[in-house]
Amino acid sequence: MATRSQPDPHPQPTTPSPAYTPAQLTRYFAHIALPSTHQHHSTASLPPASALSLLARLQRHQLAAVPFENLSLHYSRARRVSLAADDVLDKVLGGPEGDKVAARRGGYCMENNTLFGSVLRALGYSVYAVGGRVNEAEERRWSGWAHTVNLVTIASTTYLVDVGFGPNGPTQPIPLSSTTPSVVGHVAPAQSRVLRKPFYLHAPSPQYLWAYQHRTTPGDDFKDMYVFDEREYFAEDFAVMNLYTSRAADCIFTENVICAKMIMGQEEEGGEGPELAGAKILKNGDFKVRMGERTVRSRTCGTEEERVEVLREEFGIELDEEQKEAIKGTVTELKQ
């Protein structure tokens, strides 16, 4: 009589975590304008301090080169967001033949952090993705699991690394410490930190998550931006999350046209590379350039033509005629 097979005590995800090839890494380094002296294809020979320094530099360069945007949900007939690592890379860099129309794009959290996680994995970093809940302050509520971040471990210290939250998101790796939260720099004078805090509603005992917090100046109170778990999330989990963020009528991404990119400052002599100095931010028809805590330039777009011009002139995103037509008749179209 046949015996019943026992369940695998260590089941594996059906979709393996992606990593890019050396050729793809070379194209990515060129796109984010990473200096050639830092274009390593492996971190295996780097001491921990150098690996951390490279990680921070990569994060800054991606934030300044790859926009946080959701244009595929508005300037596209399909209204579809692919999280496949090769699809995200082609969207950002252009296709293998260098499709200039597709190049210079970005994505929202799951896209940009999939891209960055795949780069880090190819370089040999210990990295995995987790989910997060966003503080929707204007709605006075927390979202469901609708955000993703990467956790990177270097020499037994785990760091939050996020390139997909927009201008108030982390700008450098932040260590996870349950004893003494580290306050780190952001775009000066802003600061960020991560701490462990109780987060539960009806559970009989406290449940804890990590909270990423941000403040505009050192004199302000820290505000929760999002909370996140340490459990690894698989591609199948993000597929469910992506379905909500790209389809739900009450989601910020389907209700608004968003595009934001950080601005790289000048490199100081003897420093660890240039720091981020500001951000360009477009939300619906409102565009602004923020340097430090000051808005130095702003513009209100009253028509689709004006918004398309801002995307082209300020973000380097060139929409083709089919993409421009796709937003017509939708709630996010700008009309005179």
- Residue 308 clears pLDDT 50, i.e. is over it: yes
Q: Is the pLDDT of residue 153 over 80?
A: yes
Q: What pLDDT, in 10s, does the model give residues 161-205?
A: 999 999 999 999 999 998 888 899 999 999 999 999 999 999 999
Res 4: pLDDT: 52
Mean pLDDT of 212-225: 96
Question: Would you identify the CATH topology of the domain 22-247?
Answer: Arylamine N-acetyltransferase fold (3.30.2140)
Q: What is the pLDDT of residues 88-128, one digit of tens each?
A: 999 999 876 545 445 679 999 999 999 999 999 999 999 99
pLDDT tens for each residue of 242-265? 999 999 998 999 999 999 999 999
Residues 6+ apart with CB under 8 A from 198: 206, 207, 208
* pLDDT value for 8: 64
pLDDT at 96: 61
Instruction: Give the mean pLDDT of 287-303.
Output: 97
Beta bridge partners of 288: 281, 298
What does pLDDT average to over the chain? 92
Res. 135: pLDDT tops 60 = yes
Q: Which pLDDT score, from 0 to 100, does residue 144 have? A: 94
Nearest to 278 by CA among 188, 194, 201: 188
Confidence (pLDDT) at 317: 96
* Percentage of residues in the chain having pLDDT higher than 70: 91
Residues 147-171 have a mean pLDDT of 97
Whole-number pLDDT of residue 103 = 63
Q: What is the pLDDT of residue 19?
A: 83
